[in-house]
Amino acid sequence: MKKLVTVLLLTIAVLTFAFSRSALAGDAITGSKIFSANCSACHLGGNNVIMANKTLKKEALEKYGMNSLEAITNQVKSGKNAMPAFGGRLSDKQIEDVATYVFQQAQKGW
């Protein structure tokens, strides 16, 4: 019985961690609309008109440690350097959606 409970708890823990990332992913379709309205002036096509080397392309995101949904979400919410914070302008759900869109576009090559 003790082994069964241990196996059951271990299975629950593994499944929780295995599927938690997909549960956090936002809606990329909604994210594309939010991106167009709020981000495209500086980041059209995944580029960056302010700091040309810090694009939203996969290679640049990896180089600057922005290659995860969590990192992109934090950047959008808090801002950094020339990028303004959108935490007060967009809801957490909107930020999650736009981060998902950016992450997916980077994986596709914009």
Q: Which residues are known binding-site members for heme c?
A: 39, 42-43, 83
- Residue 33: both structure tokens together: 């609309």
CA distance readout (Å), 106 to 8, 12, 15, 61, 84: 38, 32, 27, 8, 21
Q: Which residues are annotated as a binding site?
A: 39, 42-43, 83
Contact 33, 102 (CB under 8 A): no
Three-state secondary structure call for residue 65: coil
